[in-house]
Amino acid sequence: MAQAAEIDIASVTKRYGPEAVAVDSVSLKIKAGSYCCLLGPSGCGKTSTLRMIAGHESISSGDIRIGDVVVTDLPPARRPTSMMFQSYALFPHLDLVDNVAFSLKVKGVPKAERRAKALEMLTLMGLEPYAERRPAQLSGGQQQRVALARALITNPQALLLDEPLSALDPFLKVRMRQELKRLQRDLGITFVHVTHSQEEAMALADLVVVMSDGRIEQAAPPREIFRRPATAFVARFMGDHNVLSGRVAAIDDDGATLALPDGVSFRTPKDPRLTLGEPAEIAIRRDRIAIGEATAPGFGVTGLVKNIEYRGGSMKVTLDAPGVEEFTVYADEDVFDGKPHAVGDAVPLAWALADVHVLAPPTH
Amino acid sequence: MRSMVEEARRSMTAIEAPSDILETPAPTMRRRASRRLASYLQAAPLALILGAFLLLPIAAIVIVSFWDYDSVQIYPDFVTLNYAETLGSWVTWRTFFNTVKFVVLVWAISLFVGFWVAYFLAFHVRTVKMQTALFLLCTIPFLTSNIIRMISWVPFLGRNGLLNSALVDLGIVPAPLEFLLFSEFAVVLAMVHLYALFMVTPIFNTLVRIDRSLVEAARDAGASATQILTNIIIPLAKPGIAIGSIFVVTLVMGDFITVRFMSGGQSASVGLMIANQISLLQYPAAAANAVVLLAVVLMMVAAILRIVDIRKEL
């Protein structure tokens, strides 16, 4: 198998017109042999970034280096990458062997040799019994494995996957996810995987890159993304934090006080980015909030229960609180059952200083 | 759960069924019969149209082809003389050969032109609006009649026509080119002009349906533009090519007006031969010729369908 390649993206920009900037001066270093997920809502520039690495999209400005080669102006075929397309893009008129052998065919490898090699690859993927079939005769999961086999037969140093799991049903999604992770571990090559699913990125990635509006919001290991989201966007997009925004009302030795509208204020830990009188945002983990406990000043709020959902193991309680549009708490099932609340109840919420996380100050 | 429900339903129908038969046998049967009648009625319009306008005329032609005739009248009979004369005459064979030659030339040229026009429309024109506009542009020749389109070639290709005077004036040729009009060249040119769109349309249809990511996947695998064309695009366009080929082959095989007009009477086709026989009131001979022509065209279409499976496009 091929050597894994490091991918270095240096202030790469993609413009589709004078006004339409899909990717805005993005810089990112993906370590050789790591699993990187580009995560973000649709239109955030993640697919454009992947396609620029693959060479299917021209780069407006900036450079991309893969391994030791600057590939900025190279066509896809001359890059040590291989791409797996969202809809798999299997050739409908060719059988599986010819699909997998395609890149060898265009390289001029003799028929017997390339078919043998392709069959070997298909065997590796457990698709040997279907070798003579056409893609349309396969299930979604099988098609995906064919697409993987086709992408891997060129021995790429990096595999680029464009939403590889989005066409599968939820059960298959989880299974193929494990298979992808295992494959990446076995091959040891760099994987770059575009997804809009937080769960997928968390489960797979060594490095999660959260993108929004053509920029990188945060690039970090999944646990850091989850525990210490850099910006309000990341905190909201990952969905496990309550984001509160206000103005810094006081700074002292222990931290700062954040004043929200409606006369509510919360304490924050010390952070050099906080400036007196300036707007600031904090995130509080939804699963670390105690519900129905006495509240220390600055470390809690009383809210009106709006909705209760059972999540399996925990309850998702949505509340209306002063100064906050919507406040969500994940309460442990047993704890909640000990002190149940109903919709319409006013309940105190409490948290500790350690669960308050200061986000990057809003830029506007 | 589901099987239980089904079982319950089955037992219920089992209870109901006997009473149904005992009490109301007639209405049930009548209902069933009327339902059958309804489906026949639904199929009737198409069956009637096909029967009246396709099967009946063909049957008439086949029957007449076995009749006898002299210079003034045709006689109901059963003689194979018409076929013997048609197939035994070297004129027929030469005319068929000539017609097939037109078919091959017109087919090859329209395929080449049609494919690239369709390719341009499908892959290089980005917006659907522009595609539609350019496609409508292709159909503009069809806004005038066939005859007018052919006549308009005369002032262009004639001895003192636009093209010849331009070539002579520019000193490219010393004397007007004679082969431009009233020649086989003119026949083929006019036919390509008339029929190329029948090739463009089905090919365009198959090309726009090709998933663009297939082209990217091929490029990702290292295929050159030519390799993408020969390995991906042409194989996937085959059904469109086949449908267009059927159009062009059948149209050219049956053509007589273009051949008569553009060759100035110097060239023959099967259609023209039949037309001449009809004008001489030799209906049985014309009918026999038509049956042979039909058989040949059907064989050509069968051959095309043999090579390409067009079912998935229909």
pLDDT at B18 over 50: no
* CA closest to B236 among chain A residues: A93
Q: Is the confidence at residue A110, as pLDDT, over 90?
A: yes
According to the model, what pLDDT value does residue A254 have?
82
Determine the residue type at A248.
V
What is the pLDDT at residue B24? 52
Average pLDDT, chain A: 90
> Where does the pLDDT of residue B25 fall: very low under 50, low under 70, confident under 90, or very high at 90 and above?
low
pLDDT of residue B312: 63
- What CA–CA distance (Å, rounded) separates B303 from B314? 18
Same domain, B284 and B211: yes
Give the pLDDT score at A125. Answer: 87
pLDDT of residue B70: 85
Give the list of residues 6+ apart from residue B53 with CB closer than 8 angstroms, or none. none
Given a cut of 50, is residue B11 above it in pLDDT?
A: no
pLDDT at B9 exceeding the cut of 70:
no
Residue A130 has a pLDDT of 92
Q: How confident is the model at residue A192 (pLDDT cuts 50, 70, 90)?
A: very high
Per-residue pLDDT for B261 more than 50? Answer: yes
Averaged over A21-28, what is the pLDDT?
92
Angle between helices A111-124 and A96-106 (to 10 degrees): 130
Partner-chain contact A106 B220, CB within 8 Å = no
Select, from the ranges A15-24, A244-253, A290-299, B235-244, the one with the highest average predicted confidence (pLDDT).
B235-244
Q: Are B248 and B200 in contact (CB under 8 A)?
A: no
How large is the average pLDDT for residues A30-35?
94
Q: Which of B219, B221, B236 sits opposite A93 (nearest CB)?
A: B236
Task: Please tell me whether residue A346 adopts helix, strand or coil conformation.
Answer: strand
Contact B224 A107 (CB under 8 A): no
A93 and B217 within 8 Å at the Cβ level: the answer is no
pLDDT in the model for residue B26 = 61
Largest CA distance in chain B: 99
- The vertex-B20 CA angle with B16 and B24, nearest 5°, equals 160
According to the model, what pLDDT value does residue B3 have? 47
CB contact under 8 A, A77 and B217: no
Tens-digit pLDDT profile for residues B95-109 = 999 999 999 999 999
**Cβ atoms A212, A225 nearer than 8 A:** no
Residue partners of A276: CB distance under 8 A and separation at least 6:
A248, A249, A250, A251
Residues 142-181 of A with CB under 8 A from B: 150-151, 154
A161 strand-pairing partners: A84, A193
Taking the Cβ of residue A105 and every Cβ of chain B, the question of whether any pair is shorter than 8 Å is answered with yes
Report the pLDDT value the prediction gives residue A296, as an integer from 0 to 100.
82
Clarify whether residues B244 and B304 are in a common domain.
Answer: yes
Cα–Cα distances in angstroms (integers) from residue B264 to residues B154, B257, B261, in the given order: 11, 11, 5
Q: What is the pLDDT of residue B266?
A: 82
Report pLDDT for B180. Answer: 86
Q: pLDDT digits over B126-174, tens only?
A: 888 999 999 888 888 788 888 888 888 888 888 888 888 898 889 888 8
- CA–CA distance, A5 with A32 (Å, rounded to integer): 5
Instruction: Give pLDDT, residue B48.
Output: 95
In degrees and rounded to multiples of 5, residue A363 shows phi and psi of -85, -20
Q: Provide the shortest C-alpha distance from residue A363 to chain B (in Å).
A: 38
Checking ipTM against 0.90, whether it exceeds it is no
Cα–Cα distance for residue pair B32/B232, rounded to 1 Å: 52
- Sign of torsion, CA A313 A315 A342 A297? positive
Both B203 and B298 in a single domain? Answer: yes
**For residues A31 and A205, is the Cβ–Cβ distance under 8 A?**
no
Task: Dig out the tokens for A57 from the structure.
Answer: 């999209």
> Which residue of chain B has the CA closest to A104?
B221
Query: What separation in angstroms does the CA of B235 have from each of A209, A339, B199, B215, B231?
Result: 40, 68, 16, 13, 6
pLDDT in tens, B32-90: 888 889 999 999 999 999 999 999 999 999 999 999 988 888 888 898 999 999 999 99
Q: Are A182 and A122 in contact (CB under 8 A)?
A: no
Q: Which of A53, A86, A102 to mutate to test the interface with B (most CBs of B within 10 A)?
A: A102
**A90 vs B contacts (CB less than 8 Å):** 217
Which residue, among A349, A351, A309, has the nearest Cα to A333 in the 3D structure? A309
Out of A83, A90, A91, closest to residue B220 by CB: A83
- Check whether residue B30 and residue B115 sit in a common domain: no
Q: Is A241 helix (H, G, I), strand (E, B) or coil?
A: strand
Chain B contact present for A267, CB below 8 A:
no
Mind giving me the DSSP string for B200-215?
HHHHHHHHHTS-HHHH
Q: Are strands A81-84 and A158-162 parallel, antiparallel or unpaired?
A: parallel
Residues B39 and B153 both lie in one domain: no
Q: How far is B210 from chain A (nearest CA, A)?
A: 10
Suggest the residue from A83, A121, A143, A152 to mutate for an interface test with chain B (most B CBs closer than 10 A). Answer: A83
Contact B217 A91 (CB under 8 A): yes
Question: Which chain A residue is nearest to residue B216, measuring alpha carbons?
Answer: A56
Chain A positions touching B126 (Cβ under 8 A) are none
Q: Is residue B194 part of a domain?
A: yes
- Given a contact cutoff of 8 angstroms between Cβ atoms, the answer to whether A335 and A356 are in contact is no
* Claim to verify: residue B46 and residue B173 sit in the same structural domain: no
Would you call A322 an interface residue with chain B, using a CB distance cutoff of 8 Å? no
A206, A34 Cβ separation under 8 angstroms? yes
Per-residue confidence (pLDDT) for residue B72, from 0 to 100: 82
B-chain residues within 8 Å CB-CB of A87? 211, 213
- A196 phi and psi angles, rounded to 5 deg: -110, 10
Tokens of A146: 């064919």
pLDDT at site B84? 92
Q: Give the confidence band of B8 by pLDDT, cuts at 50, 70, 90.
A: very low
Q: Does residue B68 lie within any of the structural domains?
A: no
Q: Is the pLDDT of residue B22 over 90?
A: no
Q: Cα separation of B225 and B223, whole Å? A: 7
Domain presence at residue B1: no
Size (chain B), residues: 314
For residues B203 and B241, is the Cβ–Cβ distance under 8 A?
yes
Q: Work out the angle between the directed axes of helices B283-307 and B90-119 (0-180°, nearest 10).
A: 40
**In this complex, do A106 and B222 lie within 8 Å of one another by their Cβ atoms?**
yes
Half-sphere exposure of A293 (CA within 13 A, CB side): 14
Q: Which of B216, B221, B236 sits opposite A102 (nearest CB)?
A: B221
- B199-216: average pLDDT: 92
CA–CA separation, A89 and B185 (whole Å): 45
Sign of the dihedral defined by the CA atoms of residues B86, B88, B93, B95, in that order = negative
- What tens digit of pLDDT does each residue of B292-314 get? 999 999 999 999 999 888 776 55
User: Is B70 domain-assigned?
Assistant: no
Q: Which letter, b or e, does each residue of B51-82 get, where b requires 16 or more Cβ atoms within 10 Å of its Cβ?
A: eeeeeeeeeebeebbbbebeeeebeeeeeebb
pLDDT above 90 coverage of chain A, percent: 62
3-class SS letters over B56-123: HHHHHHHHHCCCEECCCCEECCCCCHHHHHHHHCHHHHHHHHHHHHHHHHHHHHHHHHHHHHHHHHHH
Q: pLDDT band at B1, cuts 50/70/90?
A: very low
Largest CA distance in chain A: 78
Is residue B82 one of the residues assigned to a domain? no
Q: Which of B220, B234, B308 to mutate to test the interface with A (most CBs of A within 10 A)?
A: B220
User: Do the beta carbons of residue A283 and residue A235 sit within 8 Å?
Assistant: yes
Q: In this complex, do B214 and A150 lie within 8 Å of one another by their Cβ atoms?
A: no
Question: Residue range A161-171: average pLDDT?
Answer: 90
Q: Which two tokens stand for residue B309?
A: 């499976």
Residue in the structure block whose two tokens are 């030659």 = B101
pLDDT in tens, B209-245: 999 999 999 999 999 999 999 999 999 999 999 999 9
Do B149 and B44 sit in the same domain of this protein? Answer: no
Residue B197 to chain A, least CA–CA distance (Å):
26
Nearest to B213 among A77, A89, A105 (CB): A89
Residues B154 and B300 in one domain: yes
Quick check: A41 and A201 in contact, CB under 8 A? no
Q: What is the per-residue pLDDT across A302-320, written as a single tens digit (0 to 9) for each?
A: 889 999 999 888 999 999 9
| CATH of residue B144 | 1.10.3720.10
Contact A240, A287 (CB under 8 A): yes
The single-letter DSSP state of residue A188 is -
Size of interface A-B (CB pairs under 8 A): 60
Reported confidence tier of residue B15, pLDDT bands at 50, 70, 90: very low
Helix (H) or strand (E) holding A325: strand A324-332
Same-domain check for residues B163 and B305: yes
Q: Do B217 and A85 touch (CB under 8 A)?
A: yes
Q: Which domain holds residue B31?
A: 20-53
Closest CA of chain A from B221, distance in Å: 5
Statement to judge: residues B111 and B258 lie in one domain:
yes
Identity of the residue in B220, B227, B235 whose CB atom sits nearest the CB atom of A76: B220
Does residue B138 sit in the same domain as residue B26? Answer: no
pLDDT tens-digit profile of A131-161? Answer: 999 999 998 889 999 999 999 998 999 999 9
A96-106 and A140-152 helices, crossing angle to 10°: 20
Give the length of chain A: 364
DSSP β-bridge partners for residue A73: none
Asked if residue B121 and residue B234 are part of one domain, the reply reads yes
Q: At what angle do helices B234-254 and B283-307 cross, to 10 degrees?
A: 180
Domain tally for chain B?
Answer: 2
Measured from the Cβ of residue B24, the count of other Cβ atoms closer than 10 Å reads: 12
Which residues of chain B neighbour A92 with C-beta distances below 8 Å? 214, 236
Q: Which residue in chain B is spatially nearest to A105 when comparing CA positions?
A: B223
* Residue B10 counted as domain residue: no
Q: Does A77 touch chain B (CB under 8 A)?
A: yes
What H or E segment, with its residue span, contains residue A329?
A: strand A324-332
Of B211, B216, B227, the CB nearest to A106: B227
Mean pLDDT in residue range A214-233: 93
Nearest residue to B194 via CA among B144, B155, B157: B144
Report the pLDDT value the prediction gives residue A364, as an integer from 0 to 100: 53
B60 in any annotated domain? no
A279/B contact by beta carbon, under 8 A: no
pLDDT at A70: 93
Interface membership of A82 toward B (CB under 8 Å): yes
Contact (Cβ atoms closer than 8 angstroms) between residue A81 and residue A158: yes
DSSP A288: G
Residue B84 lies in a domain: no
In chain A, which residues have their Cβ closer than 8 Å to the Cβ of B216? 56, 76, 83, 85, 89
